[in-house]
Amino acid sequence: MTVLSAADVAFYRDRGYLVVPDALSATELETLRAVTDEMLARARWMTASDDVLELDTGHKPEAPRVRRVKAAAYAHPYYRRLLSFPRILDVLTTLLGPSVRLLGGKVNIKAPRHGTPVEWHQDWAYYPHTNDDLLAIGLPLDDMGLENAPLLVVPGSHKGPIYDHTSGGFFCGGIDRVATGLDVSRAVAVTAPAGAMTVHHVRMLHGSDLNRSDKPRRVLFHELAAGDAWPLAYPGAADYARLKADMVVGEPSLTPRMVALPVRMPLPESPVEADTLYAKQDYLLNPSFARAEAAR
Ligand SMILES: O=C(O)CCC(=O)C(=O)O
């Protein structure tokens, strides 16, 4: 099977992102939605985030608001299983090579007229590796249009520098627009219908706004690496059993492919525990996106 044309691959290599139509069948999409509804139903009894669900600002048990299903592949087997669907696997092996390892994933949920923004960042800042054959795929559960806070990317930025993701002296997983002089004037919106798949390179500058529309925006993201890309930062470095268990296809290589690339380690760690991107980015001194009214 070859889902991607040579032009698609050239586009991805040059611009750092891609939209793949019809990644999921209608039935697969329905299952993905049903699984997610089932995961989120529990929020009605929750007053604080736990290891699986991260509550959003303004959450009340009677009006639940969840912004993330954490560690998606471990939260529900279907989230992991869809990585082996032929169309998805074919895209992964075309872009990453014959062995592919899962790094992590989540379902990011932006409630209508709400939804915590994702500040500009590069995934590479969170998990630098020995080479940068890493990417994230996004599977929108809802049509992701201009109105409901689509993923924003800066084409070509995956070939540029790695930005400082610290603020106030600590790694906060977001880029301080004042301190770094961040310029995102060339950003484009990655719109995609439900059932399609987005792809963005690990060094891509990306983020997303709050959701100003009446429609939800839910996207399952999985992060993946070539089997010969070894993590430079914990967690995961040197945990062979974990690396092996996380292979989507092929074996982890014991001879990491080393490429000279710009790297910054995700340190120093914040003294306040912040286990997700949103929690870390709360410490960003100069955010780029406004927060929803209820979040203030
Ligand atoms: O939800 C989004 O729009 C972006 C997600 C993202 O970049 C992340 O969670 O790392």
Q: What is the CATH number of the domain that holds 106?
A: 2.60.120.620
Q: Which domain holds residue 57?
A: 6-289
Number of domains the chain is built from: 1
Q: What is the pTM of this model?
A: 0.96
Arithmetic mean of pLDDT, 15-23: 98
pLDDT band at 296 (very low <50, low <70, confident <90, very high): very low
Residue 295 lies in a domain: no
How far does the centroid of ligand 1 lie from the alpha carbon of residue 129, in Å?
19
Choose one of 109, 116, 118, 203 to mutate for the ligand 1 pocket test, by most ligand atoms within 8 angstroms of C-beta.
118
Choose one of 69, 108, 122, 126 to mutate for the ligand 1 pocket test, by most ligand atoms within 8 angstroms of C-beta.
108
Residue 256 lies in a domain: yes
How far does the centroid of ligand 1 lie from the alpha carbon of residue 255, in Å?
31
**Ligand 1: nearest atom to the Cα of 150:** 3
Residue 65 lies in a domain: yes
How far does the centroid of ligand 1 lie from the alpha carbon of residue 62, in Å?
27
**Ligand 1: nearest atom to the Cα of 106:** 9
Arithmetic mean of pLDDT, 8-35: 98
Residue 294 lies in a domain: no
Please, is 89 exposed, middle or buried when counting C-beta atoms within 10 Å of its C-beta (0-12, 13-18, 19+)?
A: middle
Q: CA–CA separation, 262 vs 257, rounded Å?
A: 15
Instruction: Indicate the residue type of 193.
Output: P
Residue 79: phi and psi, rounded to 5, are -60, -35
Residue 296 lies in a domain: no
Residue pLDDT, tens place only, 230-273: 999 866 567 888 889 999 999 989 999 999 999 999 999 988 88
How far does the centroid of ligand 1 lie from the alpha carbon of residue 156, in Å?
18
Residue pLDDT, tens place only, 56-113: 988 998 889 999 999 999 999 999 999 999 999 999 999 999 999 999 999 999 999 9
Residue 288 and residue 207 in contact, taking contact as beta carbons nearer than 8 Å: yes
Whose Cα sits closest to atom 1 in ligand 1?
108
How far does the centroid of ligand 1 lie from the alpha carbon of residue 99, in Å?
24
Ligand 1 cavity residues, CB under 6 Å: 108, 118, 151, 206, 208, 219, 221, 277
- The closest of 97, 122, 138 to 226, measured between CA atoms, is 97
Residue 176 lies in a domain: yes
pLDDT band at 293 (very low <50, low <70, confident <90, very high): low
Take residue 165 and report the two structure tokens written for it.
């993701």
Residue 1 lies in a domain: no
How far does the centroid of ligand 1 lie from the alpha carbon of residue 254, in Å?
30
Residue 63 lies in a domain: yes
Arithmetic mean of pLDDT, 155-183: 96
